[in-house]
Amino acid sequence: MNNNDLLDNIDKLHTTELGEDRIRKNLKVNNNDVIAFLKEKILDKDCLIYKKGKNYYCEIGKIRITVNSYNFCIITAHLMNK
């Protein structure tokens, strides 16, 4: 798999209800559609996408998004100290 696999499968992105709550808390956002919000970030031309182990990491601005590379589940997203 390469980084394009994540982009090719962007419509498969999902997370759990607990994951949505965790992401909202971590990013300090009240967005109702967390998946759409994160898809937009991942698809941004300035987003750095790399794979390490079983996960993709997507970094844009101060946000790092962690996505499982096998099932495209968003594990978490958090603010980085940059």
Q: What is the pLDDT of residues 66-79, one digit of tens each?
A: 999 999 999 999 99
Amino acid 82: pLDDT: 65
Instruction: Indicate the fold that domain 3-79 takes in CATH.
Output: YaeB-like fold (3.30.2310)
The domain locations on the chain are 3-79
Q: Which residues contact 33 (CB under 8 A, 6 or more apart)?
A: none
Amino acid 1: pLDDT: 45
* Distance from C-alpha of 2 to C-alpha of 34, rounded to nearest angstrom: 24
Answer for the pair 26, 79: CB distance below 8 angstroms, yes or no. yes
User: For residue 2, what pLDDT band results from cuts at 50, 70 and 90?
Assistant: low
- Over 70: is that where the pLDDT of 3 sits? no
Residue 23 structure tokens? 């992401």
User: For residue 65, what pLDDT band results from cuts at 50, 70 and 90?
Assistant: very high
pLDDT tens sequence across 10-60: 999 999 999 999 999 999 988 889 999 999 999 999 999 999 999 999 999
Residue 28 structure tokens? 């300090």
